[in-house]
Amino acid sequence: MYNSGRLKLIESEGEFILGLTLKIFNGHTMGQIIPFIDTGNGTLVYMGDFIPAAANIPIVYVPAVDIQPLVSMAEKEAFLAEAVSNHYTLFFEHDFHHECCTVKETEKGFAAGKCFRWSV
C-alpha cells in the first residue's frame, strides 16, 4: 500500500492540504494530530482528545487518561494562548453540552468564552 503512492504518512506538522494545517501534541497520546481548519471566516480546531470538553479548558483540568499530564498542561497553555490571540473556535468531540466555544483569558487563567453550535 505504501509503495503505491495512495498513502501519505504524516511525519511533521504543517499544511496538509490547502486550508488544513495539522499540529502534533504529545500529552494525551504520543503524536496526536489536531487539525486546524481555515473556514474562510476564521479557524476551527477539532480538539479530539487534546481538550475533550469545554470543562477541560483550565490548564489543570487534565483527563486522568493522559499519558503525560505535565506535557498536556504545557501544550494546553501554549495552545490556549494561541487560541485567544488568533480567535480560534474550538470544536469538541466529547462534550455533551457544548459543541464549540471560543477561549478567553481571565485573571484566573483560561476559560471557555462563548459556547455555541457550529453552523455553516
Task: Name the maximum alpha-carbon separation found in the chain.
Answer: 54
| pLDDT value of residue 7 | 77
Model confidence at 119: pLDDT above 80: no
Strand partners, 33: 24
Segment 29-40, tens digit of pLDDT: 999 999 999 999
Burial of residue 64, with CB atoms counted within 10 A of its CB: 0-12 exposed, 13-18 middle, 19 or more buried: exposed
pLDDT level of residue 120 (50, 70, 90 thresholds): low
User: Where along the chain do its domains lie?
Assistant: 15-116
Determine the topology of domain 15-116 in CATH. Answer: Metallo-beta-lactamase; Chain A (3.60.15)
| pLDDT value of residue 107 | 96
pLDDT level of residue 118 (50, 70, 90 thresholds): confident
Strand partners, 115: 101
Segment 39-56, tens digit of pLDDT: 999 999 999 999 999 999
SS3 category, 34: strand
Segment 57-116, tens digit of pLDDT: 999 999 999 999 999 999 999 999 999 999 999 999 999 999 999 999 999 999 999 999
Model pTM above 0.85: yes
| pLDDT value of residue 32 | 94
